[in-house]
Structure 1
Amino acid sequence: MALDRNPGPNDLSAFWMPFTANRQFKKAPRMFVGASGMYYKTADGRDVLDGTAGLWCCNAGHCRPKITEAIQKQAAELDYAPAFQMGHPKAFELASALRDMAPEGMDHVFFTNSGSEAVETALKIAIAYHRARGEGARTRLIGRERGYHGVNFGGISVGGIVNNRKMFGTLLAGVDHLPHTHLPDQNAFTRGQPEHGAYLADDLERIVALHGAETIAAVIVEPMAGSTGVLMPPKGYLEKLRAICTKHGILLIFDEVITGFGRLGSAFAADHFGVQPDMMTVAKGLTNGVIPMGAVLAAGAIHDAFMQGPEHVIELFHGYTYSGNPIASAAGIATLQTYREEGLFENAAALAPYWEDALHSLKGLPHVIDIRNMGLIGAVELEPIAGEPTKRAFTAFLNAYEKGLLIRTTGDIIAMSPPLMIDKAQIDEVFGKLSAVLKSLA
């Protein structure tokens, strides 16, 4: 096709949109054309309060000056540098900043381009680590029902959301799943961590007995499951998982793509819960969603197991063309600086009780069957329409957009996770609009 060909009309047909009802959208498009702070601007000139930090990623809000300036400066100075056998200073600077922010012992950072790639990387590192130590039989991976770990084959194999898996044939072999932690009969309308369910971690002992600990490389879980509908870890659950993994020499991977960078009021969920994993996957808030970037944070012992043999030999045959991309690295550095200078993690922690009270004020509204919260995350679970699952929540999503509020839905669950710069007046705006939406549902 000639490059000088006159472009055709923009009829929206060329873009096959991800995780979208494409036909419905293209009949009535919802277009954002600008953003600032806590708000998006629509194509028809309306302000929409961002109740979801984009897709759980714009933790510092939108179009923040320090991040914008860092990207502009870096693009003019060094646009791209290869990460294979070469380097540039910003990647090392960002890795050091992440190490300093991370829980003690997370000493090394491997850069990727997304949360999905970070998960694939962590799973590969886990298997290769055991092989490097002479335990090559440890290849089995353990995920969890209703878990979300991105959309690549490794991620959907250890993940447990049915619709993300069922269309794609045979997945990775040697994968098992723990039960999910959602116990609505015992834990409905819980504020923070539920009281019941720590025993669910004991199922890992059953899996160990079934396959043998010597075959299991790693367990991967979201400390708090986000995309499946905001499922909280019961009190004592993560501690039990850590203890069982340690007992059997199994690596514990926390998928912190959503929970990382202040979402729960601490830098990471590992800090919030006081549980130390062996690796953590991060993305989203790492660059405030501005430039694609992810990372795996690994304990020193994992990294050091590879640093053997002749120094001129590549230790890990894995990586991406854009690992540690200069512009993404600059964005990441500026994002971490913005969090620190504006006290955004502290703001999230301080406002969490106000957020919790506002969220739970929705109890008793039509079709609300559960409410869950932690930090600046909240979920409202709706009673499904008989024979039409997901329709009630999707209707709420559309109505909220018309009222100037962006929410997320998964199944019949409404999820919210606003930028950490939110204030009390904006929290009132979120739940005032959401209350009106819920009252209008059939």
Structure 2
Amino acid sequence: MSHTTLAPSALSPARAAELAALAAGHAQRFPWYRDLLLRRGALGSGILSDLPVLGTDALSAHYYTADHAHLPDASVYHTSGTSGGRRKRILYSPADDDAYVAQRRELFGAFTQSVPPGAVAVADLGTGHAAASARRVFLELGFTAYDIDFTRPVDEHVTRLNAWRPDVFFTMPMILDRLLQARPGLDIRPRKVMVVGDVAPPAWRAHVAERFGVQPQDILDVFGSIEIGAIAYSCAQTGLYHFHDHIVPEIVPVERLARLTVHDQVPSCQEGSGALLLTSLARRYFPAVRYVTGDAITGLRRIHHDGREVFAFERIDGRLAGDFKHGERISNHDLAQIMAEVFPSRPFEAADDDGLVIRVVADTVGDDQLAAVRSAVDRLAPDVAQMIASGLVGPVRVTAVPPDGLRSGHAKRRLDLKEG
């Protein structure tokens, strides 16, 4: 591997100054965040451990459902999963949009440099910021760009892809799995494939490469979120995921995640494995400072690679809290609500096994119970329902397990890891 691991260190003075300016800007835009900093005596601080950790509770109370009328130039994106019956609203400033497109353009441009200008690039994604921005990124790279409306039936996706025959294809692992299973079959030979939104481990990427007759290094796994934007990407040279330069990552022990509040003094840790916190130095209309992503990662470290210092990690282990992805998002709140309605007082867990699988402690799962779970998912996560109706993702599955059959070992503790 062409990298050298570095000893851990504090942020550089330049990065500390950027962090202080970032926190001060968020304090000006979001009065509730200013109050948090003032209570901690951290206004103006460029030390990560001085700043509050922002999780779902604080953001649900102050950001996700606020109208933000004082930010009239914002673009608004909604998550498909809800919490408390209301979809989360995520704001992007024009500068946020431009920064995101620049980050994607730089990454995709380097990845597709062997593909000539004018070649066909297609985005087949769900909803949200990545889907809304993909065509702009491709056009700015000089490609002939198309995208596919996720509400269209899966056979229409296949028909359009077979007609366009993209050289560059940007999609989600769950959608691509569905497309490869469709009949009549997908008949395309993209030279470069980028995927985002679900865990895409090396074995999966190797299988996709073989299916399309390319090398594993021609499959790029992109890590992002609607809150942060571009986060990280797989590097074929090092075998690691590299964070984008605007990201300052930290980890905290997984067992501590559920107890974290904005009042805790949380030391900054930038090596090891655990629950991921992210700070984005490029975001303006989302307070992305020590944001709790709900992801678990392994092997966070700093490395030297190709003459640059970068943060990197080994793999994404899965989701620990918050939203679950089944094509689009279903919130933990909604999953708990659904299971309380259909399987009251029954311990359960949710996992990623090529889609959402809910394991519940029960003797059997009846047809009426399965229908009730699926109906509730349709009601509470309409974008997921549309993707299921279109055939882009399969139906939610519910299986019965004995009391000792839960992998997480605790009632209603969700650990969303890839099966197998």
TM-score normalised by structure 2 residue count: 0.31
Higher normalized helix content (fraction of residues):
1
Which structure features the higher share of strand residues? 2
